[in-house]
Structure 1
Amino acid sequence: MFQSAFRTIYVASNTAVCRGISLCFRHYCKKNPTKLRISEAVTGAEVGANVTVQGWVRSVRPQKANLFLHVNDGSSLQSLQVVASSELNHPLLTFGSAVEVTGVLKKSPNRKQPVELEAEKIHVVGECNPVDFPFKIKERHSLEYIRQFPHLRCRTNASSSLLRIRSEATAAIHSYFKENGFVQIHTPVITSNDCEGAGELFQVEPSGPENAEEENFFSVPTFLTVSGQLHLEVMSGAFSRVYTFGPTFRAENSQSRRHLAEFYMVEAEVSFTQSIEDLTKVMEDMFRATTEQVLAQCEEDVDLFHKHVSPGHRATVDSMMKKKFPVITYSEAIDILNRSSQKFAFPTDWGCDLQTEHEKYLVKHCGNVPVFVTDYPYDLKPFYARDNRDGPAHTAAAVDLLVPGVGELCGGSLREERLGLLTTRLEEAGLADTYSWYLDLRRFGSVPHGGFGMGFERYLQCILGVDNIKDVIPFPRFSNSCLL
C-alpha cells in the first residue's frame, strides 16, 4: 500500500513537473520563434509553430479588416502568404520592401498553398518606393527589359529562378566529376599563353602612376585566360582524370546572342585514351547527369522558363534525355548541308568552318537532339589536336557537340602526344620557343590523352530555351558593356 501511494504521489508530481516544463517551453517558443526560410515554411512541416521569416514583399493587398502579403526570400519560387490584422499595415509596407514577420504558421484554406503565416508582428527592414522601382507588381517583364537593371533584376521571378538553376547545375557538374574519379584543378585566371591561338585576348597590366614605367609586371606579357586546357594537360601527366570549372575571357567584338567577353567553362582532360568515343561518353554522361539533377531539384523554376520564356521547349528537353546522341563525321556533315534545299549565308565547301546556321541545321536534320561531329579538317584545329594522318582528307581527331537552339556546346580533341609531329607543328606556326614547356610534357612520361570544354552559359540556354546568352549569367560582359 505504501509503495502504491508513493507511486501515485510520484506520478502526480512528475506530471505536474512535465506540465510546468511544457508551459515554460511554449513560453520560450513564443518569445524565441523559430527562424525559417520561405522554402522551409511553405512545406507545411512547421504548422502550429511560432516562426519568423525574412524576405521581400512580392504583393500587398490591404482590406478593411485584414492585410495580405506575399513574402519571398529567394530560397524558393513560391512565396509565403502572410495574413495580418489591418492594424499592422504601415505606409512603408510596399511592393519591394524588405520585412521581418513573426507569427504562427497555420494551414491555409486556399488549396493552392499548404500554409499561411498569421502575423503577430511585421517589421519593415528596408523600405522601397514602388513608384520608382523599375519592376511593377503583377507585371511579367521581358528578359530584355529586366536586363537593363543588372543590380536589381535578381528581384524578379525569372532571374531568381535562373540563379537557383545555375547554382544547382554547378553542384551537379561537380558531383558528376567527383563520382567519376576526376580531380578538380584550380587553373589560373592570369596566364602567359593563348590556348586557342585566335588572338582574342585581354592583356593584363597594372594600373596607377607608380606602375607607368613598368613594362611587364610579370616580366612577360600576360592575359586573362581563354581556356584552362593547357594547364589541365600539365596535370594530366600526374592524374588520369582532371577537370576545372571557372571564368574564361574572349576579346571578341561580338554582339551575338551566343557570345560573352566573360563566361564560365567546364573543361576536362582524360589520360590513357586513344579514342574519341571516350571523350564523347564523358560529354554525354555529364550532360545527362547534370540535366537530370536540375530537372529533379528545380522543377518549379525550370517550369517557369518552359511555360513563360520558351513555351514547348520541355518536349525538346525530354527528347534529348531519351535519345542517344548520334555521331557523324565532318565530311558527312558537309554532305548533309550540300544536299539541303536550304540556302545558307556561309559556304559549305569541305574545309570551311561550320557556322551557327550550319550547326543548327545539322541538329534539326538529326532529329533535334544533340549530335557529335568528329574528324574536322586538320587545318581548322589548334596545334594540340591529334593528327589522324588519314591521307588527302587530312583530318584531326577533334569533336564538337552541337545542341538544339544553340549550336556548338562542347569542343574537344585527342591531344597530339607524338613529340616529332607536335614539334613540327609548333615550328611551322613559329611557336616552338613559346611552348618549349609543352614539348617537355611529351618528353617526360607522356601518354595518349584528350579533353574537351563546355560553355556553361550555353548549356543553360540549351536546357531552358533561352535565346540570349546575356540572360543566363548574373552580370553579362560583352563589347561596349560592363555594367557594375
Structure 2
Amino acid sequence: MLGARGGWRALRRCPSSIFSSSSFSSSFSSFSSSSSLPREQRAPAVRLRVRQALGAREAAGEVQVQGWVRSIRSQKEILFLHINDGSSLESLQVVADPSMESRDLTFGSAVEVRGKLVKSPHKMQNMELKAESIRVVGPCDTLSFPLKAKERHPLEYIRQFPHLRCRSNALGALLRIRSEATAAIHSFFQDHGYVHIHTPIITSNDCEGAGELFQIETSNETQKSAEKNHFFNVPAFLTVSGQLHLEVMAGAFTHVFTFGPTFRAENSQSRRHLAEFYMVEAELSFTESLQDIMQVMEDLFKTATSTVFSRCPRDVELFHKYVAPAQKGRLEQMLKNKFVTISYNEAVEILKQASQTFAFKPEWGCDLQTEHEKYLVQHCGEVPVFVINYPYDLKPFYMRDNEDGPQRTVAAVDLLVPGIGELCGGSLREERLPFLQSRLQRYLDLRKFGSVPHGGFGMGFERYLQYILGVDNIKDVIPFPRFPHSCLL
C-alpha cells in the first residue's frame, strides 16, 4: 500500500501540485488532456487522503481515494456516498452515476474510488469527488454491523466493541486528538532541551511503594512455581512509574522525560482508574525549588492544550458540543489565568470549614480523597489548583523533607483539576544521603556519586484527555481500556 507518502510521490511526478494555486491551471490542463488518451498511456491516479482532498484549493483529475462508506443515498439520476479514511472528522462526498451501485456497496463497506476532484456546489463542503469507478474492497453486512448509519451511539455502547469502535466519529476524533496531544507533549520537552529516555516496562522495583503490582512470570514458571526459579533471577513486575530510572539519568542529564505505559493492579471500577495507562514523567536536576517543578507542569499543560485546540479544532468541537457543552469556555478561561496554589494545611482548613458533609472526615495527616479534591477545586473557582507540602508520613521515601518543625512535611505537589481531581503529582527528591540512610538502603548509591538537588513529576495522559475533552469515564479516552475483569482483544 502506498499510503499518504505514495500519494505525495505521485504528486511530485505530476507537472505541478494540485495544492499550489499559482500553478494549478497548467496542472489541471494536463490532467484534462490526458483523459482522452488510452488508459495505459495516462498518468497514474494521485492517491489522496480524505483530509487532503477536502483541503485541496483547486479541482484535479485522476485521483484515487480509499476508505469506508459512512453513508449512501441513491436517487434516480445520481448516487451519493460519503467516504471516510480516519484522516479527518469530515467525510468526502462522492458523486456517481447510479449504474455504479451494487449490492456490496453499503454502509461500512471498504471502497476504492477513482475520479475527478471538483469544487462542490454546496456551502457545507469545499470539494467533492466525481466518481469514474467504484471498487468494493471489503463488503460489510449491515444487519450484523453494530454501528448504524446516522445514529449517535453513546460512548458506553461503543465501548462494547473494541475492535470496531474506532469506526465511530467519537473514537475517531479521540484517537486523532491523542495523536496530536502526544506530539505536542514531545515537542514541548524537545523545545525546552529535555532528553527523551526509554524507561523499561519490566522492572524489579516498586517505585510507588503501594504494592499494586502485576508480577511477570513465564508460562513455564507458572507451571513450576514451586521451584521458585525466576527468568530474571529476581521477581519482576510491570512498571508503575519510570521515575527511579529517570533519577538515574538525571545524574548525567539535567533535563529528562519519558512517556509510556504504566500499570497498576488496583481493583477499581471507578471512572478515573485503569489497570494500564500512559504516563508523562519528567526529572529536573539542579533545582531546589518546588516552584520550578510546578511551572513546568503548568507550562506543559497549557502548551499541549493550546496546540491540540489549534491542530484539531473540529475533533475537539465534537466533544465540547455533544459530550461536555460547557467545557470549552472553562478551558479557554483556564488557559488565560495562573493556576492557584495552596498548602496542604490550607486545604485541610478549607475542608473543615466547608458546609458540605464528606464521607471521609478531613483531618490533618489524612490523605485527600476524590471528594476533597473536587471541593477544593470548586472552592478555588473551578480552576486547576496546586496543593503543596504534604505530611511526611503520607508520601514515599524519596520526597524531600522540608524540616519544618513538629508537623514535618515534604516538598510534594499535586495538581488538581475540575471534574477529575488529581492530574499530576510531583516533588523535590531527597538528595541528602544522611536523610536517606534512615529510609531505604537501595537508594543510597545514587546519592554517593555526584548527587545534586533535583525534582520531577508525572501526569496521567488519559486523565489529561479526560479533562480537556470533558469525558466522564476514563475508559472512553484510550483505544483498548484495561480494568478489572476486562481485557478485550
TM over 0.5: same fold? yes
Code of the residue aligned with 1:161 in structure 2: it is: A
Q: Which residue of 1 aligns with 2:275?
A: 261
1:110 aligns with 2:115: no
Task: Indicate if the aligned counterparts of 1:269 and 1:449 stay in contact, CA closer than 8 A.
Answer: yes
Aligned pairs for 1:274-313 (under 5 A) are: 274-313=288-327
Q: 1:389 to 1:262 in 2, by over 3 A?
A: same
Give a deviation string over 1:358-414, Cα, whole Å, max 9, x none.
Answer: 111111111111110000001000000000010111100000000111000000100
Q: 1:316 aligned to 321, 330, 348, which one?
A: 330
Give a deviation string over 1:265-300, Cα, whole Å, max 9, x none.
Answer: 000000000000000000000001100100000000
Tell me how far apart the structure 1 counterparts of residues 356 and 458 of structure 2 sit (CA, whole Å): 30
Give a deviation string over 1:165-191, Cα, whole Å, max 9, x none.
Answer: 000000000000000010000000000
1:474 aligns with 2:479: yes
Q: Which residue of 2 aligns with 1:446?
A: 451
Aligned pairs for 1:126-145 (under 5 A) are: 126-145=138-157
Provide the secondary structure at the position in 1 that maps to 2:230. Answer: coil
Tell me how far apart the structure 1 counterparts of residues 167 and 220 of structure 2 sit (CA, whole Å): 37
Provide the secondary structure at the position in 1 that maps to 2:245. Answer: helix
Q: 2:158 aligned to 146, 152, 174, which one?
A: 146
Code of the residue aligned with 1:99 in structure 2: it is: V
Shift of the alpha carbon at 1:44?
A: 3.0
Provide the secondary structure at the position in 2 that maps to 1:232. Answer: helix
Task: Indicate if the aligned counterparts of 1:400 and 1:409 stay in contact, CA closer than 8 A.
Answer: yes
Code of the residue aligned with 1:308 in structure 2: it is: Y
Q: Which residue of 2 aligns with 1:399?
A: 413
Task: Indicate if the aligned counterparts of 2:34 and 2:42 stay in contact, CA closer than 8 A.
Answer: no
Task: Indicate if the aligned counterparts of 1:58 and 1:95 stay in contact, CA closer than 8 A.
Answer: yes
Q: 1:22 to 1:140 in 2, by over 3 A?
A: closer
Give a deviation string over 1:220-259, Cα, whole Å, max 9, x none.
Answer: 0010000000000000000000000000000000000000
Code of the residue aligned with 2:486 in structure 1: it is: S
Task: Indicate if the aligned counterparts of 2:271 and 2:473 stay in contact, CA closer than 8 A.
Answer: yes
Shift of the alpha carbon at 1:214?
A: 5.9
1:193 aligns with 2:169: no
Tell me how far apart the structure 2 counterparts of residues 142 and 22 of structure 1 sit (CA, whole Å): 46
Aligned pairs for 1:228-267 (under 5 A) are: 228-267=242-281
Tell me how far apart the structure 2 counterparts of residues 163 and 281 of structure 1 sit (CA, whole Å): 28
Q: Which residue of 2 aligns with 1:10?
A: none
Give a deviation string over 1:309-364, Cα, whole Å, max 9, x none.
Answer: 11111111112111110110000011111111111111100111001111111111
Tell me how far apart the structure 2 counterparts of residues 122 and 342 of structure 1 sit (CA, whole Å): 63
Task: Indicate if the aligned counterparts of 2:118 and 2:129 stay in contact, CA closer than 8 A.
Answer: yes
Tell me how far apart the structure 2 counterparts of residues 457 and 106 of structure 1 sit (CA, whole Å): 40
Tell me how far apart the structure 1 counterparts of residues 470 and 357 of structure 2 sit (CA, whole Å): 25
Q: Which residue of 1 aligns with 2:14?
A: none
Tell me how far apart the structure 2 counterparts of residues 458 and 364 of structure 1 sit (CA, whole Å): 18
Q: 1:268 to 1:118 in 2, by over 3 A?
A: same
Provide the secondary structure at the position in 2 that maps to 1:83. Answer: strand
Provide the secondary structure at the position in 2 that maps to 1:363. Answer: helix
Q: Which residue of 1 aligns with 2:45?
A: 33
Provide the secondary structure at the position in 2 that maps to 1:393. Answer: coil
Provide the secondary structure at the position in 1 that maps to 2:80. Answer: strand
Shift of the alpha carbon at 1:115?
A: 1.1
Q: Which residue of 2 aligns with 1:13?
A: none
Aligned pairs for 1:43-58 (under 5 A) are: 43-58=55-70
Q: 1:210 to 1:136 in 2, by over 3 A?
A: closer
Code of the residue aligned with 1:325 in structure 2: it is: F
Code of the residue aligned with 2:473 in structure 1: it is: N
Instruction: State the structure with more CA Rg.
Output: 1
Give a deviation string over 1:38-58, Cα, whole Å, max 9, x none.
Answer: 000011324132210000000
Code of the residue aligned with 1:271 in structure 2: it is: S
Give a deviation string over 1:131-152, Cα, whole Å, max 9, x none.
Answer: 1000110000000000000010
Task: Indicate if the aligned counterparts of 1:68 and 1:83 stay in contact, CA closer than 8 A.
Answer: yes
Shift of the alpha carbon at 1:261?
A: 0.4
Task: Indicate if the aligned counterparts of 1:44 and 1:107 stay in contact, CA closer than 8 A.
Answer: no
Provide the secondary structure at the position in 1 that maps to 2:294. Answer: helix
Give the count of matched residue pairs. 457
Tell me how far apart the structure 2 counterparts of residues 86 and 95 of structure 1 sit (CA, whole Å): 16
1:416 aligns with 2:430: yes
Shift of the alpha carbon at 1:208?
A: 3.7
Task: Indicate if the aligned counterparts of 1:234 and 1:441 stay in contact, CA closer than 8 A.
Answer: yes
Instruction: State the Cα RMSD in Å.
Output: 1.7
Aligned pairs for 1:94-105 (under 5 A) are: 94-105=106-117
Q: 1:190 to 1:26 in 2, by over 3 A?
A: farther
Tell me how far apart the structure 2 counterparts of residues 480 and 159 of structure 1 sit (CA, whole Å): 22
Q: 1:285 to 1:26 in 2, by over 3 A?
A: farther
Task: Indicate if the aligned counterparts of 1:59 and 1:69 stay in contact, CA closer than 8 A.
Answer: yes
Task: Indicate if the aligned counterparts of 1:251 and 1:261 stay in contact, CA closer than 8 A.
Answer: yes
Code of the residue aligned with 1:476 in structure 2: it is: P
1:355 aligns with 2:355: no
Provide the secondary structure at the position in 2 that maps to 1:92. Answer: coil
Tell me how far apart the structure 2 counterparts of residues 120 and 126 of structure 1 sit (CA, whole Å): 19
Code of the residue aligned with 2:447 in structure 1: it is: R
User: Structure 1 regions of 5+ residues with no counterpart?
Assistant: 1-18, 427-431
Shift of the alpha carbon at 1:68?
A: 0.4
Q: 1:210 to 1:62 in 2, by over 3 A?
A: same
User: Structure 2 regions of 5+ residues with no counterpart?
Assistant: 1-28
Q: 2:181 aligned to 148, 155, 169, which one?
A: 169
Shift of the alpha carbon at 1:30?
A: 5.0
